[in-house]
Amino acid sequence: MSAAEFLHRTVLLTEAVDGLAIKPDGCYVDCTYGRGGHSRLILSRLGPAGRLIAFDKDPQAVANARSIADPRFSIVHEPYAAFHRGLDELGVGLVDGVLMDLGVSSPQIDDASRGFSFRFDAPLDMRMDTTRGQTAAEWLATAEQADITEVIRDYGEERFAKQIAGALVAARVENPVVTTGQLSQIVAKAVRTREPGQDPATRTFQAIRIYINRELEELSLTLPQALGRLAAGGRFSVIAFHSLEDRIVKRFMQDAAKADRLPSRLPVRAADIGEAPLKLIGKPVRASQAEVDENPRARSAILRIAERTGAPIPKGMSA
């Protein structure tokens, strides 16, 4: 089955693009092209002078993007942590909006050959960019037990991380752990209890995927870059599916939305307090029940929107 045949429903499609408050002649960045749901909607709202730059490190996503024959559109085959470099190479300075749809996409999960899912028995790859980097199988073959424990505990929030890591290290003495089926079976034996309806391997697969793709590190590196490129009035529109991702986004936006802090009870005029570089727009948005019923993967999605003010960015908040 080709990548084009995998069904992909873009979560919070309209809400995320509405959050950008598109200007017809504006310049926008889609940090996570995926299968182009958000990108195509942005392009439909841009005028002839508008521009959209998309990033994706997945070769299949990049191939899909190259089917868009639109002079206003550019695709960059890089992780979004290459934000500054990607825009510099395209001659782009400030932008009017940045959209991020974090995590793994439906086509990546549903394509057994990618090794993201415990629902299929397939090579244990898990790389979003299959042209570079270490596979999950390669990492598990050599990682120290303490490191495996830390990854599964911290990125999967798995309370049985120590037991799972021990089981994996013991298993690889007999046979290398090279398939999703092997990993799933080892984890199932090590996890004593699990929430109703959740596969015992869910948290472990999630944790290893996040680690292999440096997802949290790249997010932390990219948010300051994007803030530094936003023009006054430009918007952030960020969808997270995982509590660790959302925590990073939430804290970054909240910190950037705080004006200069002054000692409490100090008499000071409002005009003397510096403006913050970001302004939060509305409350976090979640998928409607109708969208969740149609696409259960939307259940955990949370959208946060913020707008760049004209205030300077404090040192250390941009990159």
What is the sign of the dihedral through the CA atoms of 234, 240, 243 and 248?
A: negative
Region for residue 150 given its phi and psi (left: phi exceeds 0; alpha: psi -120 to 50; beta: otherwise): alpha
Q: What is the pLDDT of residue 167?
A: 98
Distance CA 233, CA 80 (A): 22
Full residue range of the structural domain in which residue 73 is found: 3-106+215-308
User: Does residue 66 fall inside a structural domain?
Assistant: yes
Using the predicted structure, report yes or no on whether residue 182 has a pLDDT greater than 90: yes
For the cut 50, the answer to whether the pLDDT of residue 270 exceeds it is no
**Residue that is last in its domain, among 212, 244, 260:** 212
DSSP string, 261-310: ---TT----GGGSPPPSEEE-SS-EE--HHHHHH-GGGTT-EEEEEEE-S
- Residue 151 lies inside a defined structural domain of this protein: yes
**Residue 293 corresponds to which tokens in the numbers above?**
């019923």
**Is residue 91 part of an annotated ligand binding site?**
no
Q: Is 254 annotated as a binding residue?
A: no
Query: Stretch 179-195: mean pLDDT, rounded?
Result: 89
**Residue 107: predicted pLDDT:** 65
As a dihedral over the C-alpha atoms of residue 306, residue 309, residue 312, residue 316, rounded to 10 degrees, the angle is 0
pLDDT, mean of residues 109-137: 83
What phi-psi label fits residue 316: left (phi over 0), alpha (psi between -120 and 50 degrees) or beta? Answer: left
Residue 139 vs residues 124, 145, 183: alpha-carbon distances, Å: 10, 11, 13
Q: How many domains, the chain?
A: 2
| Statement to judge: residues 153 and 247 lie in one domain | no
Q: What average pLDDT is seen over the chain?
A: 90
Amino acid at 94: L
pLDDT at 265: 52
C-alpha–C-alpha distance, residues 237 and 118, integer Å: 31
The first and second tokens of residue 68, run together, are: 């868009």
Residue 275 shares a structural domain with residue 298: yes
Note whether 170 and 157 are within 8 A (CB): no
Per-residue pLDDT of 93-118, as tens digits, reads 999 999 999 987 666 666 666 767 76
- The reply to whether 56 sits in an annotated binding site is yes
- Give the residue ranges of DSSP H helices in the chain: 13-18, 37-45, 59-65, 83-89, 106-110, 136-142, 145-156, 161-174, 180-190, 202-212, 215-229, 243-256, 289-294
Last residue of a domain, one of 162, 178, 212: 212
Report the CATH number at residue 268: 3.40.50.150
Final residue before a domain boundary, out of 212, 228, 245: 212
pLDDT, mean of residues 114-141? 88
38 is in an annotated binding site: yes
Torsions phi, psi of 97, nearest 5?
-175, 150
pLDDT for residue 91 is more than 80? yes
In a domain, 317, yes or no: no
Q: Report pLDDT for 269.
A: 47
Q: Are residues 80 and 147 in the same domain?
A: no
Give the CA angle between residues 147, 149, 154 to the nearest 5°.
95
Same domain, 47 and 173: no
Q: Are residues 100 and 232 in the same domain?
A: yes
Cα-Cα-Cα-Cα dihedral sign, residues 78, 84, 85, 87? positive
**Whether residue 149 has pLDDT greater than 80:** yes
CA-CA distance, 5 to 317, in Å (whole number)? 41
pLDDT tens, residue by residue, 10-48:
899 999 999 999 999 999 999 999 989 999 999 999 999
Cβ–Cβ < 8 Å for 16, 99: yes
Q: Known binder of ligand: residue 36?
A: yes
